[in-house]
Amino acid sequence: MNINQAGGPEETKRGGGAIMLGVERLSCRLCGDADLVSVADLGASPPCESFLAAAELDAPELTYPLHLRLCANCFLVQLPPLLDPDETFTEYAYFSSFSNSWLKHAGAFVTTSVDRLGLGDSSFVVEVASNDGYLLRNVVGRGLRCLGIEPSVNVGQAARDAGVPTLTAFLDAETGAAVRREHGPADLVVANNVYAHIPDILGFTRGLRELVADDGWLSIEVQHLLTMIELTQYDTIYHEHFQYYTVETAQRALKTAGLAVVDVEKLPTHGGSIRLWARPEAVAGEPSERMRAVLAEEKAAGLHELSGYEDFAARVDRVRLDLLDFLVQTKCRGERVVGYGAPGKGNTLLNHCGIRPDLLPYTVDRNPYKHGRYTPGTRIPIVAPERIAEDRPDYVLVLPWNLRTELSAQLAYIADWGGRLVFPIPRLEIVSPDREARQA
Ligand SMILES: [Zn+2]
């Protein structure tokens, strides 16, 4: 399976801020096995956050294959490392503190963890991919010593400005060892929404082990593959997201550096996530009852063998056919459909389905940075949300379906003219926002 058509393992600089890494042949990044089985082939699309300015519309746009595969040996579900995270993260535009619900989530986590682990004045907390200090500011507030490790220069500077000590670096074994030498081992290491975003899973995991004290704790939040497969959330597949975990594969990954998962919490974030609690093997002890329950659920869904992945591609196809059928039928009837939201996941869906402005004339977003820009690949204009009330469309297609309750309430006003909401995932649903709001 040679996907580097240009040949040669050397790195080739391309446009669009991304680097195509030379890939001689695909093999599992966790166990090295070459037996990778197709789970879903979504065609090719640009990186999902590369929104276009008007001036870029006449320029070519680089696309990358988006083909999800499963290792038949260790069952890690993965994408080839076509994007270099160095490029993606150096000037990262996402500031966690812009999201109120995320801030609340981080604050609650710190309070619970300090109690659960009995952290006190002498404790040391490290967060990897600490963003703008959205989580560690709570640790600083409690008077505990902490350090953030954040690869993005501008985001890390925002954290330092907010009083959160932050090192600008990618975590690997060397960085982990250097931090341990300088600051001592950490009683708690936090790694939220990063374990899927690093192609060097082995080096990153060794880095985590270097950071954590021999009797310390590691907390990792990551999207749960079980929910993605069960609810056909295939739009959460994008190039920046290199692997997708079950508790079982996360256990395998962490074990490569002598870390054992001892507990798992299920979280509603990102449509379905897990919080893994891990410790160095020597102090780990027995896994919790709720961890055994989640493993049993995964096993029952067939995710610890090949069978659980076999019908995913067919279900992905059904989502696409139903959505396209709806858009074509409404267009033929002369009804109007517009989009709500321009999240990264929306771009996977729009590109995979081939939805362009002929079927979706625009989408609205609350983020002013995106106004006047266009969705990558499909080039759908992004405008301010007020446009919906002016145009009174028949249907609003909701792209961030994970915020369903919140958005159904926010968009309840479209019922004034009989407008309806359309949710594409897990399967096409057309609902009156009135009824939705009452249910919420
Ligand atoms: Zn493998």
| Digit-coded pLDDT (tens) for 324-339 | 999 999 999 999 999 9
Tokens 């080096």 correspond to what residue? 203
Between the CA of 32 and the centroid of ligand 1 the distance, in Å, is 6
Between the CA of 78 and the centroid of ligand 1 the distance, in Å, is 9
> Environment class of residue 112 by beta-carbon count within 10 Å: exposed (0-12), middle (13-18) or buried (19+)?
exposed
Between the CA of 29 and the centroid of ligand 1 the distance, in Å, is 7
Cα(421)–Cα(223) distance, integer angstroms: 26
Cα(95)–Cα(154) distance, integer angstroms: 10
Nearest to 280 by CA among 344, 144, 187: 187
Q: Around Cβ 230, how many Cβ atoms within 10 Å?
A: 17
Cα(277)–Cα(387) distance, integer angstroms: 45
Grouping H, G, I as helix, E, B as strand and the rest as coil, residue 256 is: coil
Cα(387)–Cα(411) distance, integer angstroms: 12
Between the CA of 74 and the centroid of ligand 1 the distance, in Å, is 4
Between the CA of 256 and the centroid of ligand 1 the distance, in Å, is 12
- The per-residue pLDDT for 406 is 85
Grouping H, G, I as helix, E, B as strand and the rest as coil, residue 216 is: strand
**Phi, psi for residue 363 in degrees, rounded to 5:** -130, 155
The kind and range of the H/E element at 88 are helix 85-90
Between the CA of 75 and the centroid of ligand 1 the distance, in Å, is 6
Between the CA of 34 and the centroid of ligand 1 the distance, in Å, is 8
Nearest to 273 by CA among 289, 250, 256: 250
**Amino acid identity, position 190:** V
**Phi, psi for residue 2 in degrees, rounded to 5:** -95, 110
**Phi, psi for residue 419 in degrees, rounded to 5:** -70, 150
Grouping H, G, I as helix, E, B as strand and the rest as coil, residue 214 is: strand
Q: Around Cβ 429, how many Cβ atoms within 10 Å?
A: 16
Grouping H, G, I as helix, E, B as strand and the rest as coil, residue 330 is: helix
**Amino acid identity, position 99:** S
Grouping H, G, I as helix, E, B as strand and the rest as coil, residue 34 is: coil
Determine if the peptide bond prior to 287 is cis (ω within 30°): no
Asked if 48 and 16 touch (Cβ cutoff 8 Å), the reply is no
- The per-residue pLDDT for 49 is 86
CA dihedral 153, 158, 182, 106 (to 10 degrees): -110
Asked if 348 and 41 touch (Cβ cutoff 8 Å), the reply is no
Q: Around Cβ 311, how many Cβ atoms within 10 Å?
A: 13
Between the CA of 30 and the centroid of ligand 1 the distance, in Å, is 5
Asked if 420 and 414 touch (Cβ cutoff 8 Å), the reply is yes
The kind and range of the H/E element at 138 are helix 136-141
Sign, Cα dihedral of 243, 246, 247, 251: negative
**Amino acid identity, position 393:** P
- The per-residue pLDDT for 103 is 86
Q: Which residues of the chain have pLDDT under 70?
A: 1-24, 86-99, 435-440
Cα(156)–Cα(179) distance, integer angstroms: 16
Between the CA of 165 and the centroid of ligand 1 the distance, in Å, is 37
- The per-residue pLDDT for 427 is 94
Question: Which pTM value belongs to this model?
Answer: 0.90
- The per-residue pLDDT for 439 is 54
Dump pLDDT digits (tens) for 248-284: 999 999 999 999 999 999 998 878 999 999 999 999 9
The kind and range of the H/E element at 58 are none
Asked if 265 and 294 touch (Cβ cutoff 8 Å), the reply is no
